[in-house]
Structure 1
Amino acid sequence: MRKLLRTAALLLATTQVQAQDLSYYLPDSVPYNAAIPKPQEVIYHQVGEYHITHDRLVNYMQALAKAAPDRIKLEPIGFTYEGRPQVLLIITSPRNHQNLEQIRQQHVQLTDPSKSAALNTADMPAVVYIGHSIHGNEPSGANASLLSAYYLAAAKGPQIDDLLEHTVILFDPSFNPDGLQRFSTWVNQHRGKNLVTDPASREFNEVWPGGRFNHYWFDLNRDWLPAQHVESQNRLAWYHKWKPNILTDHHEQGSNATFFFQPGVPSRVNPITPAKNQELTGKIAQYHAQFLDRIGSLYFTKENYDDFYYGKGSTYPDVNGAVGILFEQASSRGHAQQTANGVLRFPFTIRNQFTTTLSTLEAARNLRRELLDWQREFYRSALTDAAANAVKGYVFGDSNDEGRTAIFVNMLRRHQIEVRRLANDTKVEGIVFGKNNSYVVPAAQPQHRLIKAIFDKTLEYKDSIFYDITSWTMPLAFGLPYAQLNAAQFTPSLMGEVVSGTVTTKGGVVGGKSEIGYLLDWKAFGAPAALYALQNAGIITKVATRPMEMTIGGTARKFDFGTILLPVSMQSVSGDQLLTRVQAIAQQYSVPVYAIGNGSVLSGSDLGSSKFVSLSKPSVAMVVGTGVSALDAGEIWHLFDQRFDIPMTHLDLPSFNQRDLSRYNTLIMVSGSGYSDINKDKLKAWVQNGGTLVLTEDAITWAAQAGICTVGLKRGQSGIDSAQALAYASREQLVGAQEVAGAIFRADVDLSHPLAYGYSTPSVHLFKANRVFMERSKSPFANPFTYGKQPLESGWVSRENKAAIANSAAVVVSTVGSGRVIAIADNPNLRAFWLGGTKLMMNAVFFGKVIEAGSARGEE
């Protein structure tokens, strides 16, 4: 009987929910303050029994701050898109809390070479930023934060007292509140009393888009450098307010793995990162190994993950005088899942994350002086490197688009980079930079290395496999004219006032009320938002398909392709009402609008010409759902919704065939592999009836195979000689080298084409992270964006893929009946910072129907 009972107990242990009390996680040699609430007293379950929801996570952090005010100060740092609070706990000793602002100011002086030499680091605490679960469906980090915060609030004894005295801990329990809430809701609602460990179960297979992303389906772990999202901007403000010495970034990986901590692959470290950084990373890693050995957890280092792209949380600190540490725990993706290593239980994953928080803090305490000294030396040596570098500064600015320039300046300022206004007009490398709309970034400043990472191009690499993109040269991404300045060009006469605060731009109506019409300059960044707002207000709009010159306010002014005409006589509102609406919209979106004094043109098409084509208000839908890239879809959603205030319908793939497509005049399909069930005849008929279908990346391949368009596709070579005997161990390197991880290519542009309206230069830079290589159309007018013989500007690409890209088409327009199919081979909207591709995408939406059939002849 006893044997049967023991067998039954073992069976229950493997099937029923196993809640672990705190003794499973916490060090057993430490006493705890009974007055500090334990997690279950606030969140109503044991840690790991359920997945913590973000609201309860914040409730617990608030409870700790209230119960232990001598150790914890809670700082609200902002709100997410969905209105969830982002909170930061500042945890240190009671004595440090009494002098917290003085400690902060002194610590920040380590990053100022003009002040840092006088500091005595022996008396300074190290600053450690502990960050959790920037991917919402990698939740062990955020759940471990319950334990770490409790430990730091409640632990007693000389060891914790010494730790808190010598460290200031910035504690972020959730980098991605919206994603964490989405994922925790999913797994908790699919959890039963008896845990199901079958990986096929619904619990482990989220519905699209999943909890990894933020509200707009962005990977926030790629946004540390671009900083285009509110979560990142809120976090960066506090990062630079404190300038931590260590930042931890707690993630999860595949369920069949173990546990990873940095260092990563040595050959994939960004060459800008000093060797001392990796030396310190290795020293800290020894503490992780020791602490994980104590609890018997397996781990690995120096494989799979790298330290190359500075937009990741574990790499961004490396170019800011700190040490970034990536932790990757094998994911249970639910409460308990069968893996190649047995059943992986959620509490186990949490314990490893908590343990490495303790190891990080122990390393910070013991290496405190070395970390502080390195931070000082990092910024001191940055000035030394700048003095030895031939590039002394960078000048940039777009006289035609001050809005886009302002967004770039504000991005630089978020990273504590000094930006100055250009004091005098200058010409560099044939580019004229005007003092009223251009800026200078001196290279000789503490953020010299980060400036290089932002501005410089890269074409030489130690490795050919990358965890993320291989280039992100920001001025090219933003589509801004820029130039490097050497010692002879970088003169004091260029240095204007230092930019402080947020740069803003102004718009409005120039010339007052008109009885004839108004002209909206399409080059302005906010022009698409203004145009949609005008159309939504019922104002009739036309687009100029030819340039012209008119007298405005007594001065001759040229207006380019794409200028928007608002004819007064055609409107249903009075002239005064029209002016009021146009003025308000122009101011809201910072666009210049010019009042027409008389209808005569000095050159070009008259205002009543057929070359001014009437526009329809876009009614836009995008196909989303399983099999569609959530990242690509989110980039477009964010562009329309956040940048331009244009609503967009999301058509879910499973129900697409049942939807009435006549409601929409524009349909967008981004990269994806799930389009096979779409009713091809229905979609083609919609295009033939006048719809504009915009395709990007892999969606082009599907559409071509489905007969929606006749875009020709080039086939890239494998790069592997099948006749040659190759070692199996070389497979990863050889196959991986053929991936297009993400590089920048220059495309030649036909500025007269509707898809190029608003561009001022005959080339733009696009980002490629795929192997979609389009043949040029047989119609010479259907290739508005093309790649030349040597289009690579920055980044890694194999010899075989480089050959396939050469002389290919970046954009092809096809005529299908009365409609148009616009195929964009690459990603014009990468991570919300590729603003150089914004006009291309918006032109496809607003002007797709303007493209004449003859411009795409031969493609039907």
Structure 2
Amino acid sequence: MNFVIIVIPSRMKKIIFAFFLFFTFLSSNYSQVQSPSEFLPNYGKQITHYHQVEAYFKQLTEQSTFIKKQKYGQTNEQRDLNVYFISTPENLAHLEQIRTNNLAAIGMSSQKTQTTGDKVIVWLSFNVHGNEFAGTESAMTVAYELVNPSNVTTKEWLKNTIVILDPCINPDGYSRYGNWLREISGKNTHPGLTDREHMEVWPGGRYNHYIFDLNRDWAWQTQTETQQRIALYNQWMPQVHTDVHEMGYNSPYFFPPSAEPLHEFIEKYQRDFHTLLGKNISAKFDKENWMYNTRERYDLFYPSYGDTYPTYNGAVGMTLEQGGIGAGREITMSNGTNLTIKDRLTHHATTVLTVVETAASQSEQLLKGFRSFMTDFRKNTKGKYATYVMKSNPKLDQMTQLLQKNGIEYSYADAKQNAFGYDYQTQKEHPFAIEPNDLIIKVDQPRAVMTQVLLEPNQKLNDSLSYDITAWTLPLAYGVKGYAVKNSIGIKTKSAIAIPEVNVPATVYAFHIPWNNRTSAQVLSQLHQNNIKVRSAMKEAIFGSTTIAPGSLIVTKGDNPKIVDFEKTVSAIIKIKSDYTVITTGFSANSKDLGGENFVLLPAPKIILFSGKGVGSTEFGSVWFYLDQILGYPVSIVDVDKFKRIKLHEYNTLILADGYYDFTEAEQKELSEWVKNGGKIIAMNGALSLFEGKEGFALNSYASDDEKVKAEKDAADLELKARFLDYGNEERRAISASIPGAIIENILDKSHPMAFGLGDTYFSLKTDDRHYSLLKNASNVVYVPKNFKSYGFVGHEIKKKLNETVSFAVDSKGDGKLIYMVDNPLFRCFWENGILLFSNALFLVN
């Protein structure tokens, strides 16, 4: 036997030993990375608590060098909001360089280094709807497979890819649903439908703390979760964004391509990626015999979704939908097969990993398309207009806040200039004057497309079968006069408006607070809560150089003799309203003295708001959020089935959000008597059915018996004609009588307190076909005129019926008031002029 002796130099020995130690460390390190099934004993069988989800990701970040955590905020219930960056250790070490390079390539950063090379950024969002919990369950599998040391394939993807994974956008809703499901779960599953496991209780886990649908809030950013997430999103600007959902449990899986309508601004590279992705995912689903569909229902139009918002910011945005809502832990589907949590999370994980795989393989095309989208359309506008001008108005305070949240640049005119543009309110082009302090928004900016999507007067809808509202025109939403101009306006501008500080003298007769935006209502809220007496002007009044418009608030020293240091106390409260003024005398120049009938004392509302079964969840949520967060005003919330426990005489205001209220005859009588004795009911949408056609109430669908007979005859004629219609076009025919969400012109009775501060015309966001004839013996404060103007899709049948119908009315009964709100002015709390209208109803109508 021969032996070969190899002599290794001492320097080489050290290198080999170092490599041995390195690989031993890696092996030891990676061997501790546990899969979700290893870490969580009931994974795939029961919903995972949110703290367990966080614990699982904690062990991943501790045991793997391929993942890094960043907390980006907290929910209303103080749960952490986290994202996890997943890539190679080298890429994670240069995250900040990669981020700034990405922004520099699209003109959003001046910092740029070339050391890291281009990386495609893929953002994965899970569980925006809390009860669609298979999303968060799948997020753990996705993260594991990306860092799993034995998965060589995913490591290749990560070489040129940064994955930003948000395992749960809505921890509060997820926890609400999870706690409920855990509490009602037994040892065995109940696949049959007749079990409480499949009967989620009100308000459900879909929504966040304030019962808002976070998937409709991306652009409006009314909710704290959205605000914090979008702030981080805008720091990264990914090329791909995946929004992971669930839908009804009988539905097959949905993945791109998306359905029509597709917004006309969506680019070819975004559509091409959708098509390629659809083919890649379908190949994997075909192999497993999993059912799926594409190009159905889920369109790309409304800008505030988790797929459209990224799309309008240059990414390839997409929705992924797995059947599962209402399934609980396991359910028998209509085809006889059982659907489990394991099935649902596996389908999601397979799809999401395919997204990452496809993005990694298409990184060059994605980066090229994204950069072109974000740079080429600055000067070569995709839309019709290059500049948007909003006339100076206190309501612009809220509009500019929205622009800031979305990273949209703006300035203010610092000179006068004539221009020619499209008037949003008249829908005509004509000359107008730009004056100092008018808001100027130019399309020539990094977020050119998003700017146009939010501000274009008429969004092109290439298919009327839309999944959501079809119009959101910002000047109309904010109640400001606006113009869209085709050319870029060269005018001297400034970055801000100088607001002079109010000089409060040692002795003040009264403070004047204009009633012209949400801040006015916030001030009144604080004045009431500090027991300060407040008056409101019914008509215009003039005091020296101060003109007081109807609705404006007056706080006099004479009404508040017990307030110590009146001037300092009141000015401290109202200083958030920068346009307040001081009045030194109660003697007016036009016979409207402060002590006269023109200035009425405002009672402080004592509010009760019904919640619970039968009340629309999100509609209740919008009222609650308005009172609690926007106004900061106290409200008693009571489940409607506890009506008998309420002492109505302790309240003067009752809010009935949209819903179906099953009051007994005795309860309805009690409410009616309470109103007669001075109570106020604000009834919204479906709640109006409590009063429609009832004796003693003005609300009616028809102005006369003859009108009712004609309507019934017309309906009968349509039924006869329908006998000859084909089945295939039934869905499209149905939309002729629908209005999924459009903007409708309304006439205002400007003399009524409910119209104060709204402007010359009110544009209402109408989201259903509910309509009522103009009321008799009541105040039709806001109503739709004949041949009204509109934005968005309105079915031709319903359009005819909306002529001369009421939108907001006040019905006086004894000493009290019934306020009918046919439309919801607080819809998603982004319709700013609607927020002011509701404030009028709450505070000024008495």
Residues 739-772 of structure 1: per-residue CA shift (max 9 Å, x gap): 210000121212221111223x210211001122
Relative distance call for 1:168 and 1:345 in structure 2 (3 A) is: same
- The equivalent of 1:470 in structure 2 is 470
SS in 2 for 1:33: helix
Query: In 2, Cα distance between the equivalents of 1:808 and 1:836?
Result: 20
Amino acid at match of 1:196: H
- The equivalent of 2:410 in structure 1 is 419
The answer (yes or no) to whether the contact 1:132–1:250 under 8 Å persists in 2 is: yes
Amino acid at match of 2:45: E
- The equivalent of 1:362 in structure 2 is 357
Q: How does 1:375-386 map to 2 (within 5 A)?
A: 375-383=370-378, 385-386=380-381
Amino acid at match of 1:456: E
The answer (yes or no) to whether the contact 2:698–2:776 under 8 Å persists in 1 is: no
Q: CA deviation at 1:112?
A: 2.9
Query: In 1, Cα distance between the equivalents of 2:802 and 2:156?
Result: 59
Query: In 2, Cα distance between the equivalents of 1:506 and 1:709?
Result: 48
Relative distance call for 1:806 and 1:696 in structure 2 (3 A) is: same
Amino acid at match of 2:619: D
- The equivalent of 1:597 in structure 2 is 584
Amino acid at match of 1:684: S
The reply to whether residue 569 of structure 1 matches residue 569 of structure 2 is no
- The equivalent of 1:130 in structure 2 is 124
- The equivalent of 1:853 in structure 2 is none
Relative distance call for 1:59 and 1:749 in structure 2 (3 A) is: same
Residues 14-38 of structure 1: per-residue CA shift (max 9 Å, x gap): xxxxxxxxxxxxxxxx999321133
The answer (yes or no) to whether the contact 2:693–2:699 under 8 Å persists in 1 is: no
The reply to whether residue 34 of structure 1 matches residue 31 of structure 2 is yes
Q: How does 1:88-167 map to 2 (within 5 A)?
A: 88-112=83-107, 123-167=117-161
Q: 1:323 aligns with which of 306, 309, 316?
A: 316
Relative distance call for 1:34 and 1:738 in structure 2 (3 A) is: farther
Query: In 2, Cα distance between the equivalents of 1:813 and 1:842?
Result: 14
The reply to whether residue 394 of structure 1 matches residue 385 of structure 2 is no
Query: In 2, Cα distance between the equivalents of 1:444 and 1:121?
Result: 30
The answer (yes or no) to whether the contact 1:527–1:591 under 8 Å persists in 2 is: no
Amino acid at match of 1:804: K
Q: How does 1:812-827 map to 2 (within 5 A)?
A: 812-827=809-824
Relative distance call for 1:758 and 1:207 in structure 2 (3 A) is: same
Residues 77-120 of structure 1: per-residue CA shift (max 9 Å, x gap): 1111111110010111011122221111222233239999x999
Relative distance call for 1:462 and 1:524 in structure 2 (3 A) is: closer
The reply to whether residue 644 of structure 1 matches residue 631 of structure 2 is yes
Query: In 2, Cα distance between the equivalents of 1:368 and 1:491?
Result: 38
Q: CA deviation at 1:415?
A: 2.3
The reply to whether residue 63 of structure 1 matches residue 52 of structure 2 is no
- The equivalent of 2:567 in structure 1 is 579
Q: 2:231 aligns with which of 237, 241, 244?
A: 237
SS in 1 for 2:83: strand
Query: In 1, Cα distance between the equivalents of 2:580 and 2:281?
Result: 60
Query: In 2, Cα distance between the equivalents of 1:202 and 1:168?
Result: 42
- The equivalent of 2:269 in structure 1 is 276
Relative distance call for 1:510 and 1:32 in structure 2 (3 A) is: same
The answer (yes or no) to whether the contact 2:314–2:373 under 8 Å persists in 1 is: yes
Q: How does 1:530-679 map to 2 (within 5 A)?
A: 530-551=523-544, 556-574=545-563, 576-587=564-575, 589-677=576-664, 679=667
Query: In 1, Cα distance between the equivalents of 2:170 and 2:145?
Result: 23
SS in 1 for 2:580: strand
Q: CA deviation at 1:427?
A: 6.0
Query: In 1, Cα distance between the equivalents of 2:444 and 2:590?
Result: 48
The answer (yes or no) to whether the contact 1:586–1:592 under 8 Å persists in 2 is: no
TM-score w.r.t. the length of structure 1 is: 0.88
- The equivalent of 1:6 in structure 2 is none
Q: CA deviation at 1:59?
A: 2.2
Amino acid at match of 1:713: S
Q: CA deviation at 1:423?
A: 2.0
Query: In 1, Cα distance between the equivalents of 2:229 and 2:108?
Result: 25
- The equivalent of 1:302 in structure 2 is 295
Percent of residue pairs bearing the same amino acid type: 26
- The equivalent of 1:778 in structure 2 is 776
Q: Gaps spanning 5+ residues in structure 1: where?
A: 1-29, 850-860
Amino acid at match of 2:466: F
Residues 570-614 of structure 1: per-residue CA shift (max 9 Å, x gap): 32424x522222111112x33543322122211141111122212
Q: How does 1:674-693 map to 2 (within 5 A)?
A: 674-677=661-664, 679-693=667-681
Query: In 2, Cα distance between the equivalents of 1:459 and 1:301?
Result: 24
Q: CA deviation at 1:40?
A: 5.4
The answer (yes or no) to whether the contact 1:78–1:85 under 8 Å persists in 2 is: yes
Q: CA deviation at 1:565?
A: 2.0
The reply to whether residue 48 of structure 1 matches residue 44 of structure 2 is yes
Query: In 1, Cα distance between the equivalents of 2:561 and 2:499?
Result: 28
Q: 2:342 aligns with which of 335, 340, 347?
A: 347
Residues 543-572 of structure 1: per-residue CA shift (max 9 Å, x gap): 221211002xxxx11101112222212324
Amino acid at match of 1:91: I
SS in 2 for 1:728: coil
Relative distance call for 1:691 and 1:121 in structure 2 (3 A) is: farther
The answer (yes or no) to whether the contact 1:508–1:586 under 8 Å persists in 2 is: no
The answer (yes or no) to whether the contact 2:661–2:690 under 8 Å persists in 1 is: no
The reply to whether residue 733 of structure 1 matches residue 732 of structure 2 is yes
Q: CA deviation at 1:528?
A: 1.5
Relative distance call for 1:277 and 1:353 in structure 2 (3 A) is: same
Residues 223-260 of structure 1: per-residue CA shift (max 9 Å, x gap): 11111211111111221211111111111111111211
The answer (yes or no) to whether the contact 2:736–2:798 under 8 Å persists in 1 is: no
Number of aligned residue pairs? 796
The answer (yes or no) to whether the contact 1:128–1:247 under 8 Å persists in 2 is: yes
SS in 1 for 2:105: helix
- The equivalent of 2:21 in structure 1 is none
Q: 2:835 aligns with which of 835, 838, 853?
A: 838
- The equivalent of 2:746 in structure 1 is 747
Q: 1:699 aligns with which of 682, 687, 696?
A: 687
Residues 165-212 of structure 1: per-residue CA shift (max 9 Å, x gap): 111000000011110010111111111111122323212212211100
The answer (yes or no) to whether the contact 1:687–1:820 under 8 Å persists in 2 is: yes
- The equivalent of 1:852 in structure 2 is none
Q: 1:372 aligns with which of 355, 367, 374?
A: 367
Residues 34-90 of structure 1: per-residue CA shift (max 9 Å, x gap): 211333565x4332222122222122222221222x211111111111111100101
Residues 523-556 of structure 1: per-residue CA shift (max 9 Å, x gap): 24312221121122121222221211002xxxx1
Query: In 1, Cα distance between the equivalents of 2:578 and 2:671?
Result: 36
| Worse-superposed segment, 411-420 or 796-805 | 411-420
The answer (yes or no) to whether the contact 1:542–1:566 under 8 Å persists in 2 is: yes
Relative distance call for 1:457 and 1:515 in structure 2 (3 A) is: closer
Relative distance call for 1:747 and 1:74 in structure 2 (3 A) is: same
Q: CA deviation at 1:834?
A: 0.4
Amino acid at match of 1:561: P
Relative distance call for 1:792 and 1:691 in structure 2 (3 A) is: same
SS in 2 for 1:603: coil
The answer (yes or no) to whether the contact 1:750–1:762 under 8 Å persists in 2 is: no
SS in 2 for 1:441: strand
Query: In 2, Cα distance between the equivalents of 1:95 and 1:121?
Result: 11
The answer (yes or no) to whether the contact 2:739–2:767 under 8 Å persists in 1 is: yes
- The equivalent of 1:805 in structure 2 is 802
The answer (yes or no) to whether the contact 2:676–2:813 under 8 Å persists in 1 is: yes
Relative distance call for 1:514 and 1:772 in structure 2 (3 A) is: farther
CA RMSD of aligned residues (A): 2.7
Query: In 1, Cα distance between the equivalents of 2:505 and 2:523?
Result: 18
Q: CA deviation at 1:507?
A: 9.7
